[in-house]
Structure 1
Amino acid sequence: MKIEGIKDVFFDLDHTLWDFDKNSALTFNKIFKMHDVAVDLNEFLSHYEPINLDYWKLYREEKIDKESLRYNRLNDTFKKISYQADSKLINKLSIDYITYLSSFNHLFDDTLDILNYLKPKYQLHIITNGFQEAQDSKLRNSNIHHFFQSVTDSEEVGVKKPNPIIFHHALNKVNAKPETSIMIGDNIEADILGALHIGMEAIYFNYLKVCADHKIKQINNLNELKLFL
């Protein structure tokens, strides 16, 4: 079951190492209190999370820009829960969300354990579609930045996963080859199919345990990487 010949391990960050959903919920709780937004947090999140994923898909596909993503995911959610929020409030919340998001730094269970396990054996890297300013803060504030030799983000490259350009850029940055590299992430389209398309190995972090193609290598918790690496 071990994958032979791997030298470079590339991770996604959000929803893979950094527990985005937990940190996001804590951030909304904070900024809603700051701005006296009287909504039920659980109800808000139940609508926000799928809306956010839909907007991220549009963002990956270059159909919307960063500002549209940040504004519309909030605007649509407030409409869903029938909360009156004007554009001034939404813009302020969208700014404060990014400002405070990286002040919460819960990692997935076993993140530190698996990074300590992999670090002596492989060169470790990040490839992320997340916003540059936020991703750097997340890595540093959660104290995992030192594990990674390189961080490649979509704003730096100008395209997003699964575009092969971002994968080739990340590989070229560290003189890595697709055939000796592996991508680990939570998104089948962006992380797994994107990596496989250029000849990398890939492992799907299926932490939500959704039904997925059995041909795709997958794990439900990070420590299961030890079965492959």
Structure 2
Amino acid sequence: MKIEGITDVFFDLDHTLWDFDKNSALTFKTIFELNKIEVDIDMFLHHYIIINFNYWKLFRDEKIDKEVLRFKRLNDTFMAINHPILPEIINKLSKDYIEHLTNYNYLYENTIEVLDYLKQKYRLHIISNGFHEVQNKKLENSNIQHYFKTVTNGESIGVKKPNPKIFNHALDCAKTSAKTSIMIGDGFEADIIGAMNVGMEVIFFGTNKENSEVEVKQISNLIQLKNYL
């Protein structure tokens, strides 16, 4: 069923449009080769994905800063696979990771088709918790920046999703209202609950909801947005 009355569509970037896991895996392969780090990449990524998710939650909740996030997620992963690395090497890998991450810019299936479809009917925007300098490069290097009227990064305004301030700031920048806006993202607490709390319509992108008691519209492929918008 089509959702009526929407003028503005807000997207999360990582894990929603930009295929973070695939691009991140390719980046680690590159920087491990550059730094002559010999590990089982699949085992490393198996642990890293979980550890990174947990540290991002702490960062989102403002319990750690960017430097702690970037160091600890790598250090803890190497410890988890019993391959301890000197702190100076961790710092080098952390820097290299950020430098090379935006060299890979795979998007989720049907991203371009859906953005082309939506831009004919709506104003499109980004709300991201990612780091300002990295997120902008992702948009530029994947050649999708031109679809979006505004881009709001949590780092730039000092708060992160699900804090209502970031949603209200994004709405103000877009010169629109919550009642005519919809948020699409993979983070159930950050994107979906956060947007609902300011009165926005929502669509959850993914298969695993952090709180299954809350019923919302849900898609597993971006092409399914055509069913609602």
TM superposition score normalised by structure 2:
0.98
- Tell me by how many angstroms 1:84 deviates: 2.3
What is residue 142 of structure 1 aligned with on the other side?
Answer: 142
**Equivalence map 1:1-229=2 (5 Å):** 1-206=1-206, 209-210=207-208, 212-213=212-213, 215-229=215-229
2:27 is paired with a residue of what secondary structure?
helix
CA offsets per residue over residues 161-196 of structure 1, 9 Å max, x none? 000000000000121100000000000000000000
Structure 1 counterpart SS, 2:203: strand
Partner SS state of residue 62, structure 1: coil
Helix, strand or coil: the match of 1:149? strand
Mapped partners of 1:197, 1:223: distance in 2: 26
> Residue 156 of structure 1: CA displacement?
1.1
Distance 1:107 1:215 in 2: 27
Residue by residue, what CA displacement relative to the aligned partner does 1:113-139 show, whole Å, maximum 9, x if unpaired? 000000010000000000011000000
* Preserved CA contact (<8 Å) 2:127 2:153: yes
| CA–CA separation in structure 2 for the residues paired with 1:176 and 1:150 | 11
What is the Cα deviation at residue 213 of structure 1? Answer: 4.4
- How high is the sequence identity, in percent, across the aligned residues? 59
Whole-angstrom distance in 2 between the partners of 1:203 and 1:133: 27
Measured against aligned partners, the alpha-carbon deviations of 1:83-140 in whole angstroms (never above 9, x if no partner) come to 1200000000001101000000000000000000000100000000000110000000
Task: Tell me how far apart the structure 1 counterparts of residues 215 and 53 of structure 2 sit (CA, whole Å).
Answer: 24
CA distance in 2, matches of 1:214, 1:85: 42
- How many residues are treated as equivalent by the alignment? 227
Quote the offset at 1:214 in angstroms: 6.5
Q: Deviations over 1:23-77 (max 9, x none)?
A: 0000000000000000000000000000000000000100000000000000000
**Cα displacement (A) at 1:215:** 1.6
Residue 114 of structure 2 contacts residue 223 of structure 2 at CA under 8 Å; is this kept in 1? yes
Within 2, Cα distance between the matches of 1:199 and 1:210? 23
Q: Residues 161 and 190 of structure 2 are in contact (CA less than 8 Å); yes or no, is this contact kept in structure 1?
A: yes
Rounded Cα–Cα distance in structure 2 between residues aligned with 1:99 and 1:127: 22
* 3-state SS in 2 of match to 1:108: coil
Please, which runs of 5 or more residues in structure 2 have no aligned partner?
none
Structure 1 runs not aligned, ≥5 long: none
**Rounded Cα–Cα distance in structure 2 between residues aligned with 1:140 and 1:152:** 15
Q: How far did residue 210 of structure 1 move? A: 2.5
RMSD: 0.8
Residue 155 of structure 1 deviates from its aligned partner by 1.0
